[in-house]
Amino acid sequence: MTSAGSSQGASPDLPDPAGMRASDAERERIAEVLREAVAEGRLDMEEFGERLNAAYTARTHGELEPLVRDLPVPGSAVPAPPAPADPTGWRERIGGTPTSRMGIAIMGGFQRKGTWTVPRAFTAFTLMGGGEIDLREARFEDRDVVIRCFALMGGVQIIVPPDVETHVGGIGLMGGFDHTGSADGDPTGPRVTVTGLAIFGGVSVERKLRKEEHKRLKEERRRVKAERRDELRTERRELRGARRDERREEREERRLSLEKDRRRDDY
């Protein structure tokens, strides 16, 4: 009885998972992991070919598992680190198709301003006229741009934001280039080189705040001025209140003094 009961209570041997036959769907899943790995650079083409061939010829789970043992499951890989912060926004403003490559003013003028895209090389020519090149809100085709200015009895004014690295060169014959605009800037931003020739004319480079920054600073100054005005009003109110309290105390002291003198006279 006992032996029969023990025989009936024993669990049948479970099959070894590694020895189980692999299906076509399982082979295809392994192949997809390998394709993902080679696309991410985890496997070179030779390793990929060897493992892919082994995957499609594998008969059991035990033959498939070692092929992806050292690879992450798709979707479970460690995410790439976030891009570094870009507080100045220059990364988004470098790159794009140039809006204009040349500005010409003959007895007249031209302007390039707003959200235009500066090419790698921009040429400005003025003859008895003037040109304005405003880079404060502009995009840049490349990080390094060159602005060539030729001013003949005319002038070119270039406006750059304070955080743009600027180098001013050029030759002046009975005219000149204003080199005071040369300065270092944000290393993540563009580098602007101004060069060319000025004959009886001039090329100037000015560093000005962007309109939004100028507006922000103006609002900030206005806010600080308003806060200071409120503080002064509060201080004046507190001062007037303190003076009223002092006068009240003085009157009370005089009243008490008079009352004391009156009592002394009564006695």
Residues 80-119: pLDDT tens digits? 445 555 666 777 888 888 998 999 999 999 999 998 999 9
Q: Are strands 130-134 and 109-112 parallel, antiparallel or unpaired?
A: parallel
Three-class SS state of 145: strand
Q: Nearest to residue 99, comparing CAs of 134, 139, 155? A: 139
Looking at residue 128, what is its pLDDT?
93
Name residues of the chain where pLDDT drops below 50: 1-12, 14, 75-81
Looking at residue 87, what is its pLDDT?
60
Q: Are strands 171-173 and 144-152 parallel, antiparallel or unpaired?
A: unpaired
Strand partners, 109: 130
Q: Are 159 and 206 spatial neighbours (Cβ–Cβ below 8 Å)?
A: yes
Q: At what angle do helices 24-39 and 45-57 cross, to 10 degrees?
A: 170
* Tokens describing residue 214: 């100028």
Q: Are 93 and 115 spatial neighbours (Cβ–Cβ below 8 Å)?
A: no
Q: Are 155 and 205 spatial neighbours (Cβ–Cβ below 8 Å)?
A: no
Looking at residue 2, what is its pLDDT?
43
Looking at residue 82, what is its pLDDT?
54
Q: Are 190 and 90 spatial neighbours (Cβ–Cβ below 8 Å)?
A: yes
pTM assigned to the model: 0.52
Q: Residues, the chain, total?
A: 267
Spatial separation of the C-alpha atoms in residues 165 and 88, rounded to whole Å: 14
Taking only Cα atoms into account, the Rg of the chain, rounded to an integer number of angstroms, comes to: 41
Looking at residue 8, what is its pLDDT?
45
Looking at residue 7, what is its pLDDT?
41
Count other C-beta atoms under 10 Å from residue 20's C-beta. Answer: 13
